[in-house]
Structures are given as C-alpha cells and as structure tokens.
Amino acid sequence: MAKLMKGMLEIGGISINHLTTLNSFRDKNPNIKIREGNPTSFVYFLSPQPIYSESFLIQLVFTNEKVSKVILRAYSEIEEDGMTIAKRHRKWLITLLGESLGIKNQIEFNWGVINPWVDMKSSKAEIHLTYF
C-alpha cells in the first residue's frame, strides 16, 4: 500500500508516522503499555494488531517524545522459527511495496528506512521502520 511507502502505519485505529508523539498514546488505549524513560520511551501493544494484511506484535520506540522506530514481528498462534517468520515478513513487504523494493535488506525513503531483520542464532525476525 502507498501508506507504507509514505512511512505510515494504521494500527488499531491509530495512525503512526514520523510525526507521532508519545503524548498521542498516553491514556488513550488500555491495550497499550508505556514504559517511559528519558530520553527514550517504549510503547508496547499488549495483543497482536492487524496491519494491512498481517497481524503483528508491535513495539514503538520514542526518542525525546517523538517516534524514532517501529518494530514489527509477525504473529502466529503456533511457534515459528526465524526463517519462517522472515519469509512472512518478506511476503508482506513485497505485497505492500512491490517486488523490487520488498526484497531489499534496506529499503530507503525520504522519511526513513525499512529493515527486514533476522537473527538465525536466536531464531528471531522483525521488521524495523526507522524514522529520520
């Protein structure tokens, strides 16, 4: 979808982009946990959230009250290894961004970068959206 190309995500009725602030999450949704620190704070969605065509576990990182990173991990009811999750991430990115962008390890835009990430040692896979 064109929204992801613009750095926008729709999560549980909340729009997230490079202008999103920590204050926009305070006391708004009981399904969100906020861990505040200075200068970095974190927002965790307590249950998987649908983003376009896939459900994700989501963590937002705020630096000086402004979103700096969104970390997505495809959700599954069953245990999946890192490569299986990474393949789901790639399929999702290809669907939203097209094959030429969705297969890259670092996808750059004027608002920031999308990095599909996999660590075979820990069997973890994530998608990182980092805002400039």
pLDDT tens-digit readout, 22-76: 998 887 778 899 999 999 999 999 999 999 889 999 999 999 999 999 999 999 9
Residue 131 lies in a domain: no
- Dihedrals phi, psi of 71, to nearest 5 degrees: -115, 125
Is cis: bond before 39, omega within 30 of 0? yes
Residues 6+ apart with CB under 8 A from 101: 93, 107
Residue 13 lies in a domain: yes
Residue 60 lies in a domain: yes
Flag whether the pTM goes above 0.85.
Answer: yes
Residue 132 lies in a domain: no
pLDDT at 1: 58
Amino acid type, 112: G
What is the token pair recorded at 52?
């376009």
Residue 76 lies in a domain: yes
Residue 115 lies in a domain: yes
Number of domains in the chain: 1
Residue numbers of the domain that contains 89: 2-126
| d(C-alpha 80, C-alpha 87), whole Å | 11
pLDDT at 127: 98
Residue 77 lies in a domain: yes
